[in-house]
Amino acid sequence: MPIPGNLLTTAMAVMPHTNVDRALDAALSLDIPFWPQLPRLNYYEDMYVQAAEHFPGIVLDVENRKLSFSMDKFMEEAEEAMAGFDDPSVFDVSKDYSAVYHRFLELDLADRPAIRGQLEGPVSFGFNVADENGRPMLFDDSVRPFMFEFMARRVNVQLQKLKQKNKNAFMYVDEPGLQFLFSAMSGYGDLQAKADMEMFFSLIDRPRGVHLCGNPDWDFLLNLDIDILSLDVYTNGEVFASYAPAVKRFLDRGGILAWGLVPTNMEPFEKESEESLETMLETLWKSLCAKGIDRDQLLSQSLLSPATCCLVNSDIEKTVEKGFASVKSLSERLREKYRL
């Protein structure tokens, strides 16, 4: 199995650090490390801005931290962008857009069970980047197909770079916008989204998966052709456990679940203990196993991670780092308990 399970640890990439070395050390403290995204360091590190690099029509105002889209600019730049589709540098993350990515690729990562990269997904990107009239890119039928193919190429180029460092490298497509997909106000229907996402993942090399912290339609996500699903079970666990048939199908075809368990916001982190979090997770597992899911299979196809990213703590990175340490400690406790 290219993506290991057995309750090994990883985390989401957006981190509050402004010290690059400290952020990288935190990422490397987990079993499956990743390259951190550091939006507090500068605006280029914002996950939407990183995804926007070289995308035609993008208007980037770094001083005012604003990202937008111009259709006129898109029409001027699209042909040149398409001419560069065979150039990997067009789709890779440049040094200007990440302080960590290229340093991560210089490390010896071959002995890790896996490594991971990430890119903002096309649905979330298209929802959040709007034109001068406030209309999201996702709603434009002439832009949307190009955007999905462009982002798929970005995922593939990064994945190939990571696989040169570790044969078990995989990618998260970060899709927080999927929780709004089925809102009547979204302007983008579930049938169109399903077709678009199926096409998108058909263009992406394996292993590939989705990360989100919200509460989407879990049937929709669990039935996508993905290899790993990363979710916030601290907030959404009870709802997720109610989708046991879809979870079972996902596991039976080899899918990995990354259980986002440890909160990184100060208030919930301080009110929980490792014992309370362990009990919470095992209660969810028992609920799923009571509905026909094999426990050994579930454990062998699971990772542990923090529940969410967090940029708003008054102690900046300290609680986040404590959360990483708790994830590691919980993993060790549970792996010993279940003899993994």
* Amino acid found at 301: Q
Residue 172 falls inside a structural domain? yes
Residue 195 CB neighbours (<10 A)? 11
Burial class (CB in 10 A: 0-12, 13-18, 19+), 259: buried
Those residues with Cβ within 8 angstroms of residue 122's Cβ, 6 or more apart along the chain or in another chain = 138, 144, 147, 148, 151, 196, 200
Residue 2 lies in a domain: no
- Domain-embedded: residue 274: yes
Number of domains in the chain: 1
Any domain includes 154: yes
Strands in the chain per DSSP E: 8-9, 58-61, 66-69, 116-120, 170-174, 208-211, 228-232, 256-262, 302-306
In a domain, 1, yes or no: no
Cα angle 174, 176, 178 (rounded to 5 degrees) comes to: 105
CB within 8 Å of 177: residues ≥ 6 apart: 121, 123, 124, 125, 126, 127, 128
Note whether residue 3 is domain-resident. no
Q: Is residue 103 part of a domain?
A: yes
Is 52 within the bounds of a domain? yes
Q: Domain with 247 in it: what CATH number?
A: 3.20.20
State the residue range of the domain holding 314: 8-337
pLDDT value, residue 217: 86
pLDDT (tens, 9 = 90+) of the chain, 340 residues, equals 689 999 999 999 999 999 999 999 999 999 999 999 999 999 999 999 999 999 999 999 999 999 999 999 999 999 999 999 999 999 999 999 999 999 999 999 999 999 999 999 999 999 999 999 999 999 998 999 999 999 999 999 999 999 999 999 999 999 988 887 666 556 677 778 888 999 999 999 999 999 998 888 899 899 999 999 999 999 999 999 999 999 999 999 999 999 999 999 999 999 999 999 999 999 999 999 999 999 999 999 999 999 999 999 999 999 999 999 999 999 999 999 999 9
